[in-house]
Homo-oligomer: A and B are copies of this chain.
Amino acid sequence: MTVTYTHEVANARLSGFSSLLVRWKGSVYKLFYKEFLIFITLYTILTVVYRALLHGESKVYFEKLCLQFQSYTDLIPISFVLGFYVTLIVGRWWSQLEHLPFPDSIMLLIGANVHGNDDRGQVTRRTLMRYINMAQVLMYRCVSTAVYKRFPTMEHVVAAGIMTKSEHSVYENVKTENLKYWVPFMWFTNLLSKLRQEGRIYDDMTYKVILEELNKYRVHCGSLVNYDWVSVPLVYTQVVTVAVYMFFVSTLLSRQYLDPDMNYSGHEVDLYVPIFTICQFFFYMGWLKVAEQLINPFGEDDDDFEVNWCIDRNLEISMLAVDQMYSKHPKLERDLYWG
């Protein structure tokens, strides 16, 4: 479920964004609290060991170790790597949103230009729109785990009324190892070609404009498949992940509060709770979680695209538009500002 919150911050005002901090759903807390518990447990164990178990030379050695880790911790170029990486991931994520296929343009054209009030006209318009929606569902089954769960087999697609049984058997007869989400597009163009010859589409121009919109729609579907096929290079993701994890492993030692009596510089006060390390955990792990959530927006994260809702919406709207609303518009009349 996409988390929509911009209406709450439509106006900048006192404490503007701060009201967003108390949300749980889709929040950074929900995403990383488990990692945080692990981290804080490990930190506590080390603290207890240091304070309760170590004495004399081993204590001093531990302290020196902490100091050395401290001087090296900041060598890890974590904010730079994260900044560039997250920008890349956010770019891909938004681009995928822009490529979600919506049938609205095609349905406006079909509804107004594939003529015929008879039964065949009605069936044709509905079938054309069903092909469009079918291609979408077939494509989403490949890229989205949520849709795949909803339609684990082609039988589920048939049961949902998106494909008829006879279509299913024709579909199964198209033999190829490759993805077949383009098959309904082929049916669409073949059917459209017939409709033009029958004269249900009145002119070549309209025929062409429908073909063009179809191709735009197909390009959207193909793009999502491409995004699914080619991920952000694994190497990049690994480098970033290791950077963040190593940073926090090293802070386990480097951010221990050392005995103030030893007079180590920067260790004058013993606060017990590593406040700033927790802050850093919040920022860096939170930033990494942004990437983790967006790298595949077709999963079931709080912030992933509601693709199943899209499918339902598209099917409902497109049937409504080309069937009930076919050729209808309100009576023409003079408007308020006439004359």
From A119, which residue of chain B is reached at the shortest CB distance?
A: B334
Q: How close is A230's CB to chain B, nearest CB, in angstroms? A: 5
Q: How close is A267's CB to chain B, nearest CB, in angstroms? A: 8
From A291, which residue of chain B is reached at the shortest CB distance?
A: B17
B186 touches A111 (CB 8 A): yes
B205 touches A166 (CB 8 A): no
One of A40-48, A50-58, A210-218 contacting the partner: A210-218
Contacts of A236 in B (CB 8 A): 86, 90, 287, 290
B186 touches A17 (CB 8 A): no
From A19, which residue of chain B is reached at the shortest CB distance?
A: B241
Q: How close is A232's CB to chain B, nearest CB, in angstroms? A: 8
From A212, which residue of chain B is reached at the shortest CB distance?
A: B209
Q: A174-B320, A279-B76 are in contact. Are A296 and B237 (CB under 8 A)?
A: no
Of residues 266 to 319 in A, which have CB atoms within 8 Å of B's CB atoms? 266, 268-269, 271, 275-276, 279-280, 282-284, 286-296, 298-301, 303-305, 313, 316-317, 319
Contacts of A313 in B (CB 8 A): 178
Contacts of A67 in B (CB 8 A): 268-269
A313 to B316, CA, bound (A): 34
Contacts of A49 in B (CB 8 A): none
A293 to B231, CA, bound (A): 14
A34 touches B10 (CB 8 A): no
B161 touches A336 (CB 8 A): yes
A65 at the interface (CB under 8 A from B): yes
Contact with B along A91-115 (1 / 0, CB 8 A): 0000001101010110111011100
Of residues 8 to 39 in A, which have CB atoms within 8 Å of B's CB atoms? 9-12, 14-18, 20-21, 23, 26-28, 31, 34-35
A156 to B334, CA, bound (A): 18
Contact of A279 among B170, B246, B321 (CB under 8 A): B246
Contact of A206 among B160, B176, B207 (CB under 8 A): B207
A242 at the interface (CB under 8 A from B): yes
Q: A127-B335, A313-B178 are in contact. Are A102 and B222 (CB under 8 A)?
A: yes
B79 touches A77 (CB 8 A): yes
A327 touches B238 (CB 8 A): no
A150 at the interface (CB under 8 A from B): no
Other A-B pairs, 18, CB within 8 Å; known A14-B35, A18-B245: A10-B300, A12-B31, A12-B299, A14-B34, A17-B240, A20-B234, A28-B239, A31-B235, A104-B185, A120-B332, A123-B332, A161-B337, A164-B333, A176-B317, A190-B329, A238-B286, A242-B286, A246-B279
25 residue pairs bridging A and B, Cβ less than 8 Å apart: A7-B296, A14-B34, A15-B35, A20-B234, A20-B241, A21-B241, A26-B235, A68-B266, A79-B80, A104-B185, A108-B182, A108-B211, A108-B214, A111-B186, A112-B193, A126-B335, A166-B331, A174-B324, A194-B327, A205-B208, A209-B211, A233-B293, A234-B303, A242-B282, A250-B276
The 3 closest A-B pairs by CB, nearest first: A10-B299, A161-B336, A112-B189
